[in-house]
Amino acid sequence: MLLSREEIPSQYTWNAPSVFSSPEAWEQAYQTLEDEIPALEAYQGKLGEGPDTLLAWFEVYEQVARLLGKLFVYAGMSFAVDTADQEAAARRERVQSLAARFYAAVSFVNPELIAIGFDTLRAWMKENPRLAVYAHAFDELERQQAHVRSAEVEALLGALNDPFRSAASIHGILADADLKFEPARGSDGRTWQVAQGSIGALITHPDGEVRRTAWENYADAYLGVRNALGVCLATGVKQNVFRARARNYPSSLEAALDPHAIPVSVFHNLIATFRRRIPLWHRYWALRKRVQGVERLPVWDIKAPLLKEKIRIPYEQAVEWVIAGLEPLGEAYIAALRRGLTEERWVDVYPNRGKRSGAFSSGSPGTHPFIMMSYNEDIFSLSTLAHETGHSMHSYLAWKHQPFIYSRYSLFVAEVASNFHQALVRSYLLKTQTDRAFQIAVLEEAMSNFHRYFFIMPTLARLELAIHERVERGEGLTAEILTNLMTDLFAEGYGEEVAYDRQRVGITWAQFPNHLYANFYVYQYATGISAANALAQKVLGDESGESAARYLDFLKAGGSRYPLDALALAGVDMTSPEPVERAFDVLETYVARLEALLT
């Protein structure tokens, strides 16, 4: 049974008081920000008065935006670890509403900057050198000016941010707080609690009956509310289409990629390469089928343990191995990470009742880069820790080396640092832990990771494209349509090797309540793991340290460069399909090593 939140020792919980000392302190900051909104609105119509006024605006904006970031972080922390906490839920809703007011209040800025003119803005940067830091931001705005609407329309679009979160919020609450899962049953009759924090461990359980019943009961709970969730997702897609059209984009895909200067060919290259290399996944399913001695691999056994013995990895050991694996990045990097993991309590470690599903890295300039996860003392949890610390160190270095305006980096590069960490730690473990069982465990984890990033996510990306195109054509979108589309895509990926139930496989779309509401986010998991493995190979093969230094420069760049330019700085060209092909080559080496070890 999962522990309650109060039963988790404090050293394994993240340091929320470092953001605000108490809910009362959060309330005071909330009021402060609410009182500052009129100061932002007072600049409307005045930015063109000159460089000093413009600089003053940026200073006020950044001060308020920093505080908003901290309010978001604190509100999100308490809700994430106990989604049934109504006070935490209320804080989360309130700060989202306040953020919508904030964005509406500053919506006049881009139209006014465009009206000032970019030649004038560049002249002002020379007149007042303190404005020079905004050069890249001005370049981005100039490139995007065709999609910036009038101040009135921008205010309306900003105000829509809050109500447009409703579909995703409802989906998330249903999934994380209200869904009731039937317990899994073992072959010995023992029952196991199915929850968002435990499903990952249950579908890798050594008892096949636990895996089957956990997988089925998890899917069945979603199937029980599929129509409501289908309406939620259809609403989210319609909102994306609305936003794209409101900003004069021909499609939701272009609306998602163009703001970051990413051509749609990057998306289509990924999908084309994935479809071409699907037979490699069929080869892996065939290997698992042979190991288990079955004619077709049951879908709930895709992550069945390949060996009977389970390697237990306490959290403290995982911390040490992660740090050791990242030594190629230098002493300063390692020292900062160790301090975060052992002293500053960046991580909320263990599962508890009500904790939301998955894992993530959070934070804002002025806070630690926090991590939420559900550590289960196995190789998969070690890998999750490596992954999330990659995100956190990316944020840590971006916040440290960039001004506030460039402290956030694009989602396109976000998954690079996380998967890079996993690649380095995986390489370290394969070199230092020579026991056959441990080697198999590491490779099994690698395949699980690639399964999520290089099988599930491209499949979801294909679904995302299909459903957005349906809505853009004026066609309907229901739970049944979503489920059938999802199943047909998985059928291609599974081939003849995997046996599955169409409804239970098809409901996979409902099990990603955050991802599919972020317009064309999921494909970036696959591009991220591609770039990460390309860069990891460079760093591991370069004893001079030059590749590691270039990689650190990429992390430090934050949002000061376009994503493709930042990755080029590190040494990878994502406009080409080559990094995706190379990642599939890495995947193929893992399959081959497993085939040899399991012969």
- CATH number assigned to the domain comprising residue 193: 1.10.287.830
pLDDT of residue 140: 95
Q: pLDDT under 50 in the chain at which residues?
A: none
Decide: 318 and 442 in contact? Cβ < 8 Å.
Answer: no
pLDDT at position 84:
85
Q: Considering the domain boundaries, does residue 9 fall inside one? A: yes
DSSP strand pairing (360-362 vs 498-499): unpaired
Last residue of a domain, one of 218, 235, 264: 218
Contact 202, 181 (CB under 8 A): no
Tokens of 239: 């909102």
167 within domain boundaries: no
Q: Is 388 a catalytic residue?
A: yes
Residue among 363, 343, 355, 371 nearest 7 (CA)? 355
Residues 73 and 207 in one domain: no
Neighbouring CB atoms inside 10 A of 478's CB total: 14
Closest to 405 (Cα-Cα) out of 191, 131, 34, 124: 131
Confidence (pLDDT) at 513 = 83
Cα torsion 521, 482, 222, 90: sign = positive
Identify whether the C-beta of residue 567 lies closer than 8 Å to the C-beta of residue 259.
Answer: no
Which residue's entry shows tokens 């959060």?
Answer: 26
- DSSP 3-state percent helix, strand, coil across the chain (nearest 5): 70, 5, 25
| Helix, strand or coil, per DSSP, at residue 298 | strand
Q: DSSP H helical segments within 293-378, as ranges?
A: 315-325, 331-342
Of 256, 234, 235, nearest to 244 by C-alpha is 256
Among candidate residues 384, 391, 396, 394, the one with its CA nearest the CA of residue 318: 384
Q: Using CA atoms, how far apart are residues 115 and 173, in angstroms rounded to an integer? A: 43
Q: Is residue 143 part of a domain?
A: yes
Residue 406 near residue 136 (C-beta atoms within 8 A): yes
Q: Does 185 lie in the same domain as 154?
A: no
Closest C-alpha among 81, 157, 148, 153 to residue 113: 148
Rounded Cα distance between 22 and 16, Å, is 9
Euclidean distance between CA atoms 131 and 109, whole angstroms:
15
In this structure, are residues 102 and 30 in contact, taking their beta carbons and an 8 Å threshold? Answer: no
Q: What is the reported pTM?
A: 0.88
**CB burial of residue 215 (10 Å; 0-12, 13-18, 19+):** buried
**In this structure, are 152 and 9 located in the same domain?**
yes
Q: CB–CB of 449/455 below 8 Å?
A: no
Same domain, 106 and 188: no
Dist. CA 565–CA 261, nearest whole Å = 10
The three state secondary structure string of 404-466 is HHHCCCCHHHHHHHHHHHHHHHHHHHHHHCCCHHHHHHHHHHHHHHHHHHHHHHHHHHHHHHH
**Token pair for residue 509?**
């779309």
Only one residue has tokens 């990413």, namely 262
Which residues are within 8 A (CB) of 545 and not within 5 positions of it... i.e. 6 or more apart?
Answer: 328, 330
Q: What is the pLDDT of residue 160?
A: 85
Q: Give the CATH number for residue 83.
A: 1.20.140.70
Q: Has residue 214 been placed in a domain?
A: yes
Residues 157 and 197 in one domain: no
**186/104 Cα distance (integer angstroms):** 54
Same domain, 204 and 65: no
Give the Cβ contact number of residue 133 at 10 Å.
17
Using alpha carbons only, how large is the chain's radius of gyration in Å? 24
Alpha-carbon distance of 421 to 228, in angstroms, equals 38
| Residues 211 and 299 sit within 8 Å (Cβ to Cβ) | no
Distance of CA 42 to the CA centre of its chain: 36
Indicate the number of domains in the chain: 2
Residues 64 and 125 both lie in one domain: yes
Q: How many CA atoms lie within 13 A of 339 on its CB side?
A: 10
Under 8 Å between Cβ of 550 and 420: no
Q: Are residues 23 and 84 in the same domain?
A: yes
Cα–Cα distance, 548 to 381 (Å, whole number): 26
The residue segments making up the domain with residue 41 are 5-161
Quickly tell me which residue has 């030594």 as its tokens. Answer: 327
Distance CA 599, CA 595 (A): 6
138 and 184 assigned to the same domain: no
Residue 340 near residue 315 (C-beta atoms within 8 A): no
Q: Are residues 147 and 22 in the same domain?
A: yes
Q: How far apart are CA 517 and CA 97, in angstroms?
A: 18
Are 14 and 46 part of one and the same domain?
yes
Same domain, 124 and 22: yes
Residue 255 is predicted with a pLDDT of: 96
**Residue 508 forms part of a structural domain:** no
Q: Helix, strand, or coil here: 171?
A: helix
The reply to whether 38 falls in a domain is yes
Is residue 117 in some structural domain? yes
Q: How far apart are CA 285 and CA 494, in angstroms?
A: 8
pLDDT given at position 201 = 83
Give the single-character DSSP code of 521. Answer: -
Select from 577, 580, 574 the least CA-distant residue to 554: 574
* Residue 531 is assigned to a structural domain of this protein: no
Distance CA 452, CA 461 (A): 12
Among candidate residues 388, 464, 472, 497, the one labeled active-site is 388
- The tokens for 140 are 């981005």
